[in-house]
Amino acid sequence: MVRAITALLNIEGLLVYFPYDYIYPEQYSYMLELKRTLDAKGHGVLEMPSGTGKTISLLSLIVAYQREYPLEVTKLIYCSRTVPEIEKVVEELRKLIEFYSKETGEKNNFLALALSSRKNLCVHPEVSSLRFGKEVDGKCHSLTASYIRAQRHSNPSLPSCRFYEEFDAMGKQVPLPAGVYNLDDMKDFGRRKGWCPYYLARYSILHANIIVYSYHYLLDPKIADLVSKELSKKSVVVFDEAHNIDNVCIDSMSVNITRRTLDRSQANVETLQNTILKIKETDSAKLKEEYRRLVEGLKEANVARETDIYMSNPVLPDEILQEAVPGSIRTAEHFVGFMKRFLEYLKSRLRIHHVVQESTPQFLKDIFEKVCIDRKPLRFCAERLRSLLRTLEIADIADFSAITLISNFATLVSTYSKGFTIIIEPFEDRTPTIANPVLHFSCMDPSIAIKPVFERFQSVIITSGTLSPLDIYPRILDFRPVTTASFTMTLARTCLCPLVVGRGNDQVAMTSKFETREDFAVIRNYGNLLLEMSAIVPDGIVAFFTSYTYMENIVASWYEQGILENVQRNKLIFIETPDAAETSMALEKYQEACENGRGAILLSVARGKVSEGIDFVHHFGRAVIMFGVPYVYTQSRILKARLEYLRDQFQIRENDFLTFDAMRHAAQCVGRAIRGKTDYGLMIFADKRYARADKRGKLPRWIQEHLTDSSLNLTIDETVQLSKHFLRQMAQPFKQEDQLGLSLLTLEQLQSEDMLQKIAQIAHQA
């Protein structure tokens, strides 16, 4: 009993098991806010720097809540962004659950599992050896689709996946035994039982207590409809690393159509037509059956949605569910004819010589005038095509991705009159001589994709290390949070050192502003900064540029000026390339060079893959240099349309949004280097514009706090001096005792009254 008390935290009456001996004060505040959010059954926005144990705080509180109120919260859906992060979360969860069973002494009946794409879960020896996710999906489908399996009854020589067959025969009878299953555990279990881990996981999420998977399973309507639509309403959804969630939403709803897409769709339509003819000769009953079903309409889905079993799908709007498929596309031939007409129309739209931008109603009006296509059948396109593909028993859906894309576009364009724009560009801006027409159907309103999530689940938590300014996310995602809070990192020593370098030693202002970015002096000063830093910073330095082309230009001119050769005297240089495989290798070598003491510099790009997904802990990143302010490319028409929409719809000024967007990416980049309280690193903002209040104020609080007036608008020399001082200080031994009581608390300390007050004070500054 005495033991139990020491391991328990009391969060406003909720007893929480925390699997560590110590706790950071901010973790305590974080759990407090989280608990209040869950109590209120509302949504929350919580910002806490990475490396302060966000994940474990979230998990331990929600698990405790689930155990305490099993009827209020039945499931935790934890969404993360990358596969390694998903696995990390599951490992932390495993630790927590093990701690539970150790402390309580009883066997846990928790089921927690990670779900990922087939590529990461497949155990079929041939299929899993394929390199790309798309290939794996296609191959799997060709072995496991229902009609393929039906055909196998008459023709047993057809290839099959024994794992799927076993799972189908046995796997659904007994639920997955309680425990924590990471991706590899799922695979092991599947191999042992001979069951397909992917389908087992997909089946098991329905009754699991905790699911960890990636954003797409909830936000991408195409996938969410397959995987997540039956998840319980009483779930808590957590979006971790959510600083980019609006872009994920927008991406999942946007469509680009090129000439190539149309050509491939054309081919698809031909295939469909041929198959229909063939079937008509042999098995016309099948088509009749389909027709009957379509008359019935999508009643089944409608009933399910009304009784709250299904999550709504933005591609499958409510209205269609109540109606039967319109007569004009009900028979297979008619539908194919309809699609042909639609394709011809799109082709004609792509034959243009100037940029066209129009709203969806304009587009619909135009299509009605030109080819007499009504709005209503268009809306049923996606559903109708799916039904047809099912009826025709087409094995490899992947081949039909082009026509599926077109039909999704048709449904979306006819469903939403607001929040979307259509831009047809005859060529790329950089190469006006080469015709490459593209139709961008671009979503401007991220709230469309995420709306079903907010509506369906009782609590949605949006959290990340960098969410500042906090008020903007509820506005652009269009929801009303019950809690918004930003927690800072309590530190026993200032282990981060943000510096704004505004000038070179020659007093020429340093900035990546468009007018001066190609200026010789600016490039030289940037080079000098890198050179000086390479001489004083130990091990790894990561430098971020605002865009890939900018980096290419700068690297080329640094090469000409011999700057890079001098940098090489101090460290090895690795550079991110557009090719992911090449960059992975460069990254690995970079880490190797940091590891063996050689020291290295990684030149990288904000908004690139490195800046989003790779952490540079400890000596892998002792300094981050942000060259310039990473504004998005503002000349893009899609962006302009989106800015306009934000202004009209949400009253967000263009400049505010652009700055917000630039600063969150800058914060992401520099935040890569600090991954905990024992870590330390320099954050160098190399642009004079960072010194301005409007930019500085949009940095996360935990960075802003340490950005003093004396560290603004420095010259390179001053920066070097400050950095040297900082690095020497940080290199001193740092022991646990130094942190204790300040940024690290024992659980006993947490029980004292004045400590709680102090914590509350810190939290309320937010």
Q: Which of residues 79-98 bind another protein (CB under 8 A)?
A: 82-84, 86-88, 91-92, 95
> Which of residues 572, 755, 762, 766 is near another protein by CB under 8 A?
572
> Which of residues 100, 164, 199, 217 is near another protein by CB under 8 A?
217
Beta strands per DSSP E along 496-565: 496-503, 540-545
Of 4, 13, 5, 8, the closest CA to residue 60 belongs to 8
Residue closer to another protein by CB (options 42, 613) is 613
- As a whole number of angstroms, the distance between CA 250 and CA 503 comes to 38
Per DSSP bridges, beta strands 681-686 and 714-715 are unpaired
Cβ neighbours of 609 (radius 10 Å) = 16
> Which of residues 191, 233, 260, 418 is near another protein by CB under 8 A?
260
Per DSSP bridges, beta strands 235-239 and 459-464 are parallel
Of 539-568, which residues contact another protein (CB under 8 A)? 549, 552-553, 555-556, 559-560, 562, 564-566, 568
- The reply on whether position 99 binds another protein by CB under 8 A is no
Residue 408 near residue 401 (C-beta atoms within 8 A): no
Encoded one letter per residue, x for contact with another protein by CB under 8 A and - for no contact, window 730-759 reads ------x--x----x---------------
Token output for 339: 């699609």
Determine the distance from the C-alpha atom of residue 412 to the mean position of all C-alpha atoms in its chain, rounded to a whole number. Answer: 22
- The reply on whether position 596 binds another protein by CB under 8 A is yes
Smallest gap from residue 466 Cβ to another protein (A): 19
Stretch that binds another protein, among 253-261, 284-292, 329-337, 353-361 (CB under 8 A): 253-261
CB within 8 Å of 556: residues ≥ 6 apart: none
Residue closer to another protein by CB (options 258, 328) is 258
Token output for 587: 């990254």
Smallest gap from residue 559 Cβ to another protein (A): 5
Of 338, 336, 329, the closest CA to residue 269 belongs to 336
> Which of residues 268, 547, 583, 668 is near another protein by CB under 8 A?
583
Q: How many residues bind another protein (CB under 8 A)?
A: 103
- As a whole number of angstroms, the distance between CA 595 and CA 620 comes to 8
**Is the bond preceding residue 469 a cis peptide, omega within 30 degrees?**
yes
- Name the one residue in this structure whose structure tokens are 């202004």: 647
- The reply on whether position 381 binds another protein by CB under 8 A is no
Residue 91 near residue 182 (C-beta atoms within 8 A): yes
Residue 7 near residue 26 (C-beta atoms within 8 A): no
- As a whole number of angstroms, the distance between CA 571 and CA 534 comes to 7
- The reply on whether position 214 binds another protein by CB under 8 A is yes
Of 615, 756, 667, 678, the closest CA to residue 52 belongs to 678
> Which of residues 37, 116, 204, 547 is near another protein by CB under 8 A?
116
Cβ neighbours of 69 (radius 10 Å) = 14
Smallest gap from residue 121 Cβ to another protein (A): 11
Residue 248 near residue 464 (C-beta atoms within 8 A): no
Element (H, E) at 256: strand 255-258
Residue closer to another protein by CB (options 573, 625) is 573
Of 404-433, which residues contact another protein (CB under 8 A)? 405, 428, 431
> Which of residues 8, 22, 293, 474 is near another protein by CB under 8 A?
22
Stretch that binds another protein, among 213-221, 237-245, 317-325, 460-468 (CB under 8 A): 213-221
Stretch that binds another protein, among 186-194, 283-291, 373-381, 440-448 (CB under 8 A): 440-448
Rounded to 5 degrees, what are φ and ψ at 741?
90, -25
Of 252, 244, 247, the closest CA to residue 669 belongs to 244
Residue closer to another protein by CB (options 520, 559) is 559
- As a whole number of angstroms, the distance between CA 494 and CA 497 comes to 7
Smallest gap from residue 648 Cβ to another protein (A): 19
Of 635-694, which residues contact another protein (CB under 8 A)? 636, 638, 676-678
- The reply on whether position 2 binds another protein by CB under 8 A is no
Determine the distance from the C-alpha atom of residue 145 to the mean position of all C-alpha atoms in its chain, rounded to a whole number. Answer: 29
Residue closer to another protein by CB (options 159, 733) is 733
> CB burial class (10 A; 0-12, 13-18, 19+) of residue 514?
exposed
> Which of residues 70, 133, 327, 361 is near another protein by CB under 8 A?
133
Residue 591 near residue 541 (C-beta atoms within 8 A): no
> Which of residues 15, 39, 42, 134 is near another protein by CB under 8 A?
134
Of 313-352, which residues contact another protein (CB under 8 A)? none
Residue closer to another protein by CB (options 295, 556) is 556
> Which of residues 123, 332, 394, 593 is near another protein by CB under 8 A?
593
- The reply on whether position 53 binds another protein by CB under 8 A is yes
- The reply on whether position 129 binds another protein by CB under 8 A is no
> Which of residues 6, 10, 104, 247 is near another protein by CB under 8 A?
247
Token output for 270: 């031909």
Residue closer to another protein by CB (options 486, 611) is 611
Q: ∠ at Cα 466 (464, 467), nearest 5°?
A: 80
> Which of residues 111, 122, 424, 586 is near another protein by CB under 8 A?
586
Smallest gap from residue 655 Cβ to another protein (A): 21
Stretch that binds another protein, among 196-204, 361-369, 401-409, 525-533 (CB under 8 A): 401-409
Token output for 576: 């991110």
Of 142-171, which residues contact another protein (CB under 8 A)? none
- 359, β-bridge pairs: 421
Whole-angstrom CA distances from 444 to 81, 133, 440, 454 are 21, 28, 12, 18
- The reply on whether position 374 binds another protein by CB under 8 A is no
> Which of residues 258, 359, 516, 704 is near another protein by CB under 8 A?
258
Token output for 460: 């949605």
Residue 510 near residue 686 (C-beta atoms within 8 A): yes
Token output for 582: 């090449």
- The reply on whether position 614 binds another protein by CB under 8 A is yes
> Which of residues 330, 440, 517, 622 is near another protein by CB under 8 A?
440
- The reply on whether position 486 binds another protein by CB under 8 A is no
Residue closer to another protein by CB (options 364, 602) is 602
| DSSP state for residue 258 in the 8-state scheme | E
- Name the one residue in this structure whose structure tokens are 């370098």: 501
Of 413, 408, 442, the closest CA to residue 637 belongs to 442
Smallest gap from residue 404 Cβ to another protein (A): 9
Residue closer to another protein by CB (options 324, 555) is 555
Smallest gap from residue 87 Cβ to another protein (A): 6
Encoded one letter per residue, x for contact with another protein by CB under 8 A and - for no contact, window 168-187 reads ----------------x---
Stretch that binds another protein, among 30-38, 243-251, 453-461, 651-659 (CB under 8 A): 243-251
